[in-house]
């Protein structure tokens, strides 16, 4: 899949393993490592439906006030939120990562 970052801090976190952004700077090294692993999983799949095959991600498409947002688990506590979009053939192959969210907060 084609992956882009909506937040420069998330791109820094992915590329460098650290960021100056106060929101993500407090994340533990383990969470950052898992974040990078999850983004690599997303990059490795050919289309969005392939994320269902990776059970540890617990992929879901949100409803309600987060309608249109795709979510995968980083761990039990943190979620990676992104928007997906299709290419010209209609197959969903683009992901725009916009947030790491602490679940239930």
Instruction: List the domain boundaries for the chain.
Output: 2-102
pTM of the model: 0.91
Question: Which DSSP string corresponds to 27-89?
Answer: S-HHHHHHHHHHHHHHHH-SSGGGGGG-GGG--EE--GGGTT-EEEESSSSEEEEEEEEE-TT
Domain 2-102 sits in which CATH superfamily? RelE-like (3.30.2310.20)
**Mean pLDDT for each consecutive 10-residue tract of the chain (105 residues)?**
94 94 92 97 91 94 92 95 88 92 77
pLDDT score, position 92: 85
């Amino acid at each position: 899949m084609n992956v882009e970052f909506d937040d420069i801090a998330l791109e820094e976190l992915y590329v460098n393993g650290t960021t100056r952004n106060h929101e993500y700077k407090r994340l533990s090294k383990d969470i950052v490592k898992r974040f990078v692993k999850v983004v690599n999983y997303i990059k490795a799949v050919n289309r969005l439906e392939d994320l269902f095959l990776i059970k540890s991600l617990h992929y879901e498409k949100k409803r309600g006030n987060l309608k249109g947002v795709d979510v995968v688990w980083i761990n039990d506590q943190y979620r990676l939120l992104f928007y997906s979009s299709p290419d010209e053939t209609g197959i969903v192959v683009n992901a725009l990562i916009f947030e790491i969210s602490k679940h239930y907060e």
